[in-house]
Amino acid sequence: MGDFNARHRELGSHHTNNANGVRWKAFLDATEVAVLTGNNLPTHVQGGRLDYVVTLNMPTYTVVTSLVRNLLSDHFALETTIPIGSTAPANRKRLDVPTARLGQLTAYVEAWYSATRDTYTDADSLYGSLTDIIEDFVEGTRGPTQSNKPCQRTYARDPRIVNCQQTLATYQRQWQKNPGDHEAREAMVVVARHLTELRQEVRKIYWNDFLAKVRQTKSLQEVWQHVNQVRGKKRRPTCTPDPAAKAQELMYDWKGASSLSGLPRHHQEELANQRQRRRDLVHQNVILEDDTCVAITHDELLYAVKRGKSTAPGKDGLTYNVLNAIIAIKGNNPIVDLLNMSYNSVQFSMTQLRPLELIQNEAMRIILGCPRTAKIEVLRAELDMPSIVFRIQEIACRATSRLLCSGAPSFKQNLTYLHHNPRYPVTPFVKKIVSLLRSVGIMEECLGVITSPRQPTWRPHRVSVDIEKLTQRKSEWIPQVLRNHFLLKLSQYSHRQVIHIYCDGSVDGSKSGCGVFIRDYTTPDQYTDTEVTRRLPHHLSSTRAELYAILQALHTVIALNKDVYIFVDSQAALYELLSTSPCDCDLVNKCFVAIDGLEQSGARVQFVWIPSHVGIKFNERADFLARQALQDDTVDPGAEYTLGYIRNKIKTYVSNTITDQLEHCCIIGSTSSRHYVDIIHNSHHTYGRHSALYDVTAMRLRLGYKYYWEVSGSPAVSCTLCHQPRGHSLKH
């Protein structure tokens, strides 16, 4: 429906054709699913300009359009009615067998599969034949539909109450027809009172019968407890006077009871004697001696479906009752063979992933508001979204690296053996993982990743950290003002029999180092300075370098037995110490061990955040020491691969695949792709900071729609902002 203002002689206009009429006529001729309403007549005619209402993808509906003229305006409205009739509900296929005949179904399927098992080589043919056999059996044994069971009798359905209610209804109708009939009214009142007394009497009889039945199986106390549970009333537990102390006591008890040292002495000795045997059993169950997939066993299948119920079936109509009956077959079980065939034949091909790819492409168009003519490679580059195949590879690599980082020695051992010896006997699953890691280029990194637990060691209290929240962003502060503010704060800390430590880490490309400046105060005027520099392993993040500096400082002062103030300019490192699931959990645990050692000797450790590069003297000295450590090439620190480094490398690989696809489109001559490549090198846009209209306009300019970047190139088209030709472009 639109205000087209079209003129075309073939559409009924008596004037000459205009541009809108030509486009409208071409659209109607090219679109088969477009149908004009009102017998192809225009809904409004004024001066030879025609307006229409058209329906798309609705060829079977008869749409009625009428003009509404009774409006207090110089405009008019169109009322369109689309008659839609209700469709008959579709019967859902359901293959179910009565419980009494499940044994016959089992014998029937077992006899069929024993005779035809060798003829099936793929899962599709076996699945089709199995469903046909089950459907034949169900159709052959299905009898007439049974009538619904009668409802259980209650006191409200007692014949005496029913007869009394019918009599009361008769008097009520008689009195309603003739309100002056006093005899009917008095009879109605008497019957109503009698009905109330009768209900109480019958209810008492039924209640006594119910209690008699209950007493035969359970005591009255148990029944009353059950009634209270149904009503939602529970017995209030006795509250502990001090819940925090009780929780702390339970935690300490659990910690002692769950450790090996908390077991009795004879249990510890027996576990020590059986340690080698347990390792041999684990090794025997984990390491596979053949190169085939582990088949799904009958017990595993029973365990998987033991909680299944006869709920709504799928498209094949099979219910859990039928599946449970067939699964009980011993020996040659068709369900087990079907699952193993399906498991062995699973491969993510482009044909199988094509529907998911189409869904993702449509989602990208919706996000950016693009038509179907937009180039998919350009949309992926704009949203930084890889294809489904590369997305699956990314997820598999991230999951594998996380598993190796969390600690999986048997899995890591298999990967290592297969990496050095391609003929090492492992499962095809492990072989696929190795080939995937090699294609992404992170095989060596995954084998050498640092094993780090997911959670830090349990501690009875948290680390003391002081992070002052600034009233505005650090970049908006004047450096001198910010420096004076924190120098005043640092002067308030004790300078007698304490240690002040300034830590900093530095990263330059793959190189990393840390520097520590330590001032041991005896009195405010008597102190000893110590400087420490250390070259760190390659490929570290700045946060991990800061944690290395903190750990180096703690190891240096652990034997001094004094209160320690550690000043750090990295909030990320301090939040790692406070987090319950830090990324660098291995370093955090080492820092906790050093902090516990200081606290057990009576010292106190406190961390304080200070801003970097604002002129704080000792912090600048620690930064100089960290940068100086990068120049130390005499020490070979080796390479340390963290989980964050591997994730960044996977992310780089995925981004490169998106860039390669875009470059391929440019090579084969895609004009819109070349335009997008030129734009992204000259400008950058962040979505969400402005209005939706602003983002849509920027997106259309960046993605190279012809209406903006080709039509605007004409000298006849001027910019609406500066009124200059060729000005309506992204650079302008």
Q: For residue 126, what pLDDT is reported?
A: 81
Which structural domain range is residue 42 located in?
2-81
Q: Is the dihedral of CA 557, 616, 572, 515 positive or negative?
A: negative
Q: Count how many Cα atoms sit within 13 Å of the Cα of residue 134 in the half-sphere of its side chain.
A: 26
State the pTM of this model: 0.49
Query: Do 491 and 619 belong together in one domain?
Result: yes
Domain annotation covers residue 394: yes
Query: Do 576 and 676 belong together in one domain?
Result: no
CATH number of the CATH domain containing 588: 3.30.420.10
Domain boundary among 200, 216, 232: 216
Q: For residue 72, what pLDDT is reported?
A: 46
531 has which bridge partners?
517
Q: For residue 606, what pLDDT is reported?
A: 92
Domain annotation covers residue 259: no
Residue in the block written with tokens 């209810």: 203
Query: Do 162 and 193 belong together in one domain?
Result: yes
Query: Do 515 and 445 belong together in one domain?
Result: no
Three-state secondary structure along 686-723?
Answer: CCCCCCHHHHHHHHHHHHCCHHHHCHHHCCCCECCCCC
What gap in Å lies between CA 566 and CA 499, rounded to an integer?
8
Domain annotation covers residue 729: no
Domain annotation covers residue 661: yes
Domain annotation covers residue 330: no
Tokens in use for 537? Answer: 């392993």
Domain boundary among 216, 238, 261: 216
CB-CB contact of 434 with 443 (8 Å): yes
Domain boundary among 216, 242, 263: 216
CB-CB contact of 368 with 701 (8 Å): no
What gap in Å lies between CA 466 and CA 574, rounded to an integer?
9
Domain annotation covers residue 190: yes
One-character DSSP codes across 463-491? -EEE-PPPSS-GGGS-HHHHHHHHHHHHH
> For residue 67, what is the enclosing H or E element?
strand 64-68
Query: Do 537 and 567 belong together in one domain?
Result: yes
Query: Do 556 and 633 belong together in one domain?
Result: yes
Buried b / exposed e over 171-204, threshold 16 CB at 10 Å, is: beeebeeeeeeeebbebbeebeeebeebbeebee
One-character DSSP codes across 644-661? HHHHHHHHHHHHHHHHHH
Query: Do 194 and 46 belong together in one domain?
Result: no
Query: Do 616 and 656 belong together in one domain?
Result: no
Query: Do 412 and 501 belong together in one domain?
Result: no
Query: Do 625 and 478 belong together in one domain?
Result: yes
What single letter denotes the amino acid at residue 626? A
Domain annotation covers residue 621: yes
Q: For residue 111, what pLDDT is reported?
A: 87
- List average pLDDT for each run of 10 residues in the chain, which is 732 residues long: 71 74 76 63 62 64 62 57 58 75 86 84 78 83 47 67 84 80 84 86 80 64 62 57 70 66 72 71 48 54 60 67 78 75 56 80 82 83 87 87 79 85 78 86 86 69 84 85 90 91 90 92 91 88 91 90 92 89 85 89 91 90 92 74 85 90 86 81 77 76 58 50 51 42
Query: Do 492 and 405 belong together in one domain?
Result: no
What gap in Å lies between CA 673 and CA 380, rounded to an integer?
11
Q: For residue 81, what pLDDT is reported?
A: 72
Count of the separate structural domains present in the chain? 4
CB-CB contact of 516 with 502 (8 Å): yes
Q: For residue 550, what pLDDT is reported?
A: 93
Coil, strand, or helix at residue 555?
A: helix
Query: Do 496 and 409 belong together in one domain?
Result: no
Q: For residue 279, what pLDDT is reported?
A: 63
Q: For residue 366, what pLDDT is reported?
A: 82
What gap in Å lies between CA 121 and CA 133, rounded to an integer?
18
Coil, strand, or helix at residue 385?
A: coil
Domain annotation covers residue 358: yes
